[in-house]
């Protein structure tokens, strides 16, 4: 959820000074970008948001207790008390980097899960926990402690001026009024970071936007929310509606939503920061008082970065000023240079570690291919088409149809099988990934495409099996979570998971 803040309320004068600081910070960023190319070393990073589940397959609001038991600074609080987040160190993708990522991620999660069990919970990687209910989102017990969480909740509600309506049509229909942003906390994701140079940023971000639909169709893992079967990736509309600062009137006027796909291709990172300031009022207008630069001369721009963290793009621009060398009781930590990154935020968590690393391989490989081979789909299709592809795939998953330049309208599975998966494989070659490693992760994705089974389809089919056996919806959802958890811990990719065979009750 980003940097902690000291206040939860702000005066009008503080907001005015913050706006002025944002505008001056933008100019500082532009000046620094003009004078520095950024090496763009191509390192990759990963953040993983996780649910906490108790022995009855229900959400466990125990993140303070679990984090104390895990005792690892790589794990942090998230918005909901039934969530935590793992920040994995950056690494290089070359050679066996993806395999090393899988091994490291699995070791971290296994160790953390073992310790979390002592606090009464298990770690659970899924886009939205199927058993979460309206009762879990009511009152004040859902939100984690910390000024940032409280201030963000109050700022969104104040801007909106009324309760938050979650209204989603899918195979079933859900209409639910929330008194705060609690539904946002149900959305847990896998966030990928790709370091780029200043010149690379525009093409990389455009490439990421162009493939967003195919990406979410392949990885969909959130078909259920508050007991209803909705979109293949229900995280997308839940997050957008839960963090929406617009009342219905502003939405009808076309005011941009806070959770935003965007509206145009860009030339550079400054385009997106300009949009942030032009279109989105500050939610957390806290002045840092620090206008210094790092030892390497990079401006820290604390206010600009805080504001960027409250504009929820599915592909977010990141300017990181780096860190100075630091010496303390733990030893000396090396200085880190300033860098630019694209943060890909549209993927759900789960189902297994191998599935998540395969999703990462697809993103990094395909973006590399599209940029390096100059296929440049963003020059041959409108931004509106990319946005339509995204929402079509979020709604229908592997059953969606999309448009792609040179192929026209076609099923997303056909596009993946004929072009995008082979292109991602070629991109991994360009990234110098070992052939065996690339083949392994791409085979996982090909398996999903050809079987039609990702996490979303497995959950909906399993729910139907349990309900057909005579279980009511609530008990059937708990059985889905229990069975999913067994397969998740087993580690086999989701396209190989068998459907349950329950006996009739």
Q: Which residues does 191 contact at the CB level (< 8 Å), separation at least 6?
A: 46, 47, 48, 49, 343, 344, 345, 347
Do 231 and 224 meet the contact criterion of CB atoms below 8 Å apart?
no
Rounded Cα distance between 320 and 337, Å, is 8
What's 46-74 look like in SS3?
A: EEEEEEEECCCCCECCCHHHHHHHHCCCC
Angle at 379 between CA 375 and CA 383, to 5 degrees: 120
On whether residue 128 sits in a domain, the answer given is: yes
Rounded Cα distance between 462 and 26, Å, is 50
Return the pLDDT at 232.
98
38 pLDDT higher than 90: no
On whether residue 6 sits in a domain, the answer given is: no
The string of pLDDT tens digits covering residues 460-485 is 999 999 999 999 999 999 999 999 99
Rounded Cα distance between 480 and 455, Å, is 11
On whether residue 505 sits in a domain, the answer given is: no
**What's the DSSP call for residue 419?**
I
Rounded Cα distance between 202 and 148, Å, is 31
| Cross-strand partners of 111 | none
Name the pairing type of β-strands 331-333 and 44-53. Answer: unpaired
Return the pLDDT at 25.
95
On whether residue 403 sits in a domain, the answer given is: yes
28 pLDDT higher than 50: yes
328 pLDDT higher than 60: no
331 pLDDT higher than 60: no
Rounded Cα distance between 188 and 125, Å, is 8
Return the pLDDT at 333.
60
On whether residue 7 sits in a domain, the answer given is: no
503 pLDDT higher than 50: yes
Q: The tokens of 496 are what? A: 């190989």
Per-residue pLDDT averaged across 332-352, rounded? Answer: 89
Return the pLDDT at 36.
85
The string of pLDDT tens digits covering residues 245-290 is 999 999 999 999 999 999 999 999 999 999 999 999 999 988 887 7
On whether residue 501 sits in a domain, the answer given is: no
Do 198 and 256 meet the contact criterion of CB atoms below 8 Å apart?
no
Rg of the chain over Cα atoms, rounded to whole angstroms, equals 22
Q: The tokens of 261 are what? A: 């796909």
The string of pLDDT tens digits covering residues 84-123 is 999 999 999 999 999 999 999 999 999 999 999 999 999 9
On whether residue 374 sits in a domain, the answer given is: yes
On whether residue 125 sits in a domain, the answer given is: yes
Task: Please state the domain count of the chain.
Answer: 1
CATH of the domain at 419: 3.30.590.20
Per-residue pLDDT averaged across 198-227, rounded? Answer: 97
Strands (E), 434-490: none
Q: Which residues does 63 contact at the CB level (< 8 Å), separation at least 6?
A: 52, 77, 78, 80, 81, 82, 83, 84, 144
* Local confidence band at 1 (pLDDT 50, 70, 90 cut-offs): very low
Return the pLDDT at 2.
58
Measured distance between the N- and C-terminal CA atoms of the chain, rounded to whole angstroms: 44
**CA 160 to chain centroid:** 24
The string of pLDDT tens digits covering residues 148-198 is 899 999 999 999 999 999 999 999 999 999 999 999 999 999 999 999 999
| Host domain of residue 244 | 12-328+338-496
Return the pLDDT at 473.
97
What mean pLDDT value characterizes the chain? 94
């Amino acid at each position: 959820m980003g940097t902690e803040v000291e206040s939860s309320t702000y005066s009008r004068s503080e907001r005015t000074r913050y706006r002025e600081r944002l505008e001056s910070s933008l100019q500082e960023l532009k000046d620094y970008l003009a004078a520095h190319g950024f090496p763009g070393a191509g390192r990759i990073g990963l953040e993983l948001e996780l649910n906490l589940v108790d022995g009855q397959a229900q959400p466990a609001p125990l993140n303070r207790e679990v984090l104390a038991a895990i005792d690892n600074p790589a794990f942090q609080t998230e918005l909901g008390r039934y969530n935590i987040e793992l920040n994995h160190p950056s690494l290089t993708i070359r050679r066996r980097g993806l395999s090393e990522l899988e091994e490291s991620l699995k070791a971290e999660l296994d160790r953390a899960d073992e310790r979390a069990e002592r606090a009464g919970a298990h770690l659970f990687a899924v886009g939205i926990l199927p058993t979460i209910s309206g009762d879990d989102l009511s009152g004040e017990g859902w939100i984690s402690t910390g000024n940032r969480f409280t201030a963000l909740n109050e700022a969104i509600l104040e801007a909106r001026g009324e309760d938050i309506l979650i209204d989603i049509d899918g195979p079933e229909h859900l209409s639910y009024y929330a008194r705060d942003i609690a539904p946002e906390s149900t959305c847990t994701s896998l966030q990928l970071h790709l370091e780029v140079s200043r010149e690379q940023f525009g093409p990389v971000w455009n490439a990421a936007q162009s493939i967003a639909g195919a990406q979410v169709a392949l990885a969909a893992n959130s078909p259920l929310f508050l007991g209803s079967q909705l979109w293949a990736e229900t995280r997308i509309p839940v997050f957008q509606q839960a963090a929406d600062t617009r009342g219905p009137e502003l939405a009808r006027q076309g005011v941009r939503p806070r959770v935003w796909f965007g509206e145009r291709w860009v030339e550079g990172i400054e385009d997106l920061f300009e949009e942030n300031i032009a279109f989105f009022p500050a939610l957390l207008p806290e002045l840092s008082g620090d206008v210094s630069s790092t030892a390497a001369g990079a401006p820290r721009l604390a206010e600009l970065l805080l504001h960027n963290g409250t504009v929820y793009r599915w592909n977010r621009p990141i300017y990181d000023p780096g860190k100075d060398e630091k010496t303390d009781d733990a030893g000396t930590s090396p200085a880190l240079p300033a860098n630019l990154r694209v943060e890909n935020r549209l993927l759900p968590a789960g189902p297994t570690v191998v599935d998540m690393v395969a999703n990462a391989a697809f993103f990094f490989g395909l973006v590399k291919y599209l940029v390096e081979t100059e296929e440049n789909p963003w020059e041959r299709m409108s931004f509106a088409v990319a946005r339509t592809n995204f929402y079509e795939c979020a709604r229908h998953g592997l059953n969606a149809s999309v448009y792609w330049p040179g192929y026209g309208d076609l099923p997303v599975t056909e596009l993946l099988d004929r072009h995008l998966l082979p292109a991602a494989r070629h991109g991994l070659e360009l990234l110098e990934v070992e052939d065996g490693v690339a083949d392994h992760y791409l085979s996982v994705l090909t398996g999903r495409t050809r079987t039609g089974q990702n996490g979303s389809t497995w959950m909906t089919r399993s729910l139907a099996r349990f309900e057909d056996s005579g279980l009511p919806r609530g008990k059937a959802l708990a059985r889905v979570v229990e069975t999913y958890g067994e397969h998740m811990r087993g580690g086999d990719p989701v396209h190989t998971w068998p459907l349950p065979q329950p006996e009739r009750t």
